[in-house]
Amino acid sequence: MKPDAYARIRSALVENCPGSVAINSRLRDTLSLVAGNPGKLVRARLVLAAADRHGLERGAAERLACAVEYFHIASLLLDDLPCMDDAATRRGLPCAHRLYGEAATILGALAFINRAYALAGFAFAAYPSEIRLHATACLDSCLGPSGLVGGQAADLSFAQSDRSARAVSTIAVRKTGALFWLAVYFPALLAAPSAVELRLLKALCIYWGLAYQAADDLQDVMLDGNERAGDGDFGHDGALIRPNLAHVLGVSAARSRIARLVGQAFRTINRLDGLSRQWSYLGGFHHEFVEPMAGAVAA
């Protein structure tokens, strides 16, 4: 990953934020709070690396990265609400609904989703209709009932499921894996991947999504501080009976599962590299973000 990627995206998130035109002060403050306090921007940096590699113009690449991040931001705003996870903090600050109210937070999520769709459309505007149609179908699949929305619904009703490792993994694929697929597939459309390459890219996103979610689950179980170093509150999964791989399998087995998933992802990347060097940025992303994440939760 290029060293200026984080700064590029952080600046673009503020520049493209719908808060600049929001009239209501609570809505404007909600949007500004979240856009100005980003996390690691893992998915957005992946989009930017891919878009740069596949030849998307600089401004369009940044807009596409912002689109994916805004979808993620919207999901977090909704996830933190009292009717969902009832979180108190997000990325070291009070959650938006704690500062500006639930109504402004819900409207803020809608504003980010609206802007994300617009930015994705702008990024692909100059490309053939076939690419634009594939991008639209990807959004519908990743974000709708078969993806993120359906995964969140299953997350909320996990207590009524069999609470198995399979159920936990299915939810992780539909939530975390779907956003990785959006981050990879969007810019990959420009590279005209073969059917084999698409299948491998899909598998890679599943491995990454499962590994990331399992690492987050381990943090929830293991950290003993008042607030996590990551995105949200500590210790909610057990109290709310939410899917958590470490609760289901145990800490040791969850660590083993993460190590196995990281290895599967690495082997998939090697297979993609063997087909074409245009996928080499995936290895850079894996070494920079996925392997350190796995190492942080290792015994």
Stretch(es) of the chain classified as CATH 1.10.600.10: 1-126, 128-299
pLDDT for 296 equals 78
pLDDT tops 70 at residue 239:
no
pLDDT reported for residue 238: 52
Whole-number average pLDDT of the chain? 90
Average pLDDT over residues 22-34: 90
* Predicted TM-score (pTM) above 0.85: yes
Amino acid residing at 173: V
At residue 32, does pLDDT exceed 90?
yes
Vertex 139: Cα angle to 127 and 270 (nearest 5): 80
Q: Which amino acid is it at 41?
A: L
CATH ID of 128-299, from 1.10.3720.10, 1.10.600.10, 3.40.190.10, 2.60.40.1120: 1.10.600.10
User: Within 10 A of 133 (CB to CB), how many other CB atoms are there?
Assistant: 11
What's the CATH fold of domain 1-126? Farnesyl Diphosphate Synthase (1.10.600)
Q: What is the mean pLDDT of residues 53-77?
A: 95
Percent of the chain at pLDDT above 70? 92
Phi, psi of 233 (to 5 degrees): -75, 160
The sign of the dihedral angle between the CA atoms of 114, 115, 121, 125 is positive
Helix 165-172 to helix 148-156 angle, to the nearest 10 degrees? 150
Higher pLDDT, 11 or 295: 11
Cβ-based neighbours of 42, under 8 Å, separated by 6 or more = 289
What distance lies between CA 16 and its chain's CA centroid?
A: 19
Q: What is the pLDDT of residues 277-299, one digit of tens each?
A: 999 999 999 999 999 987 877 76
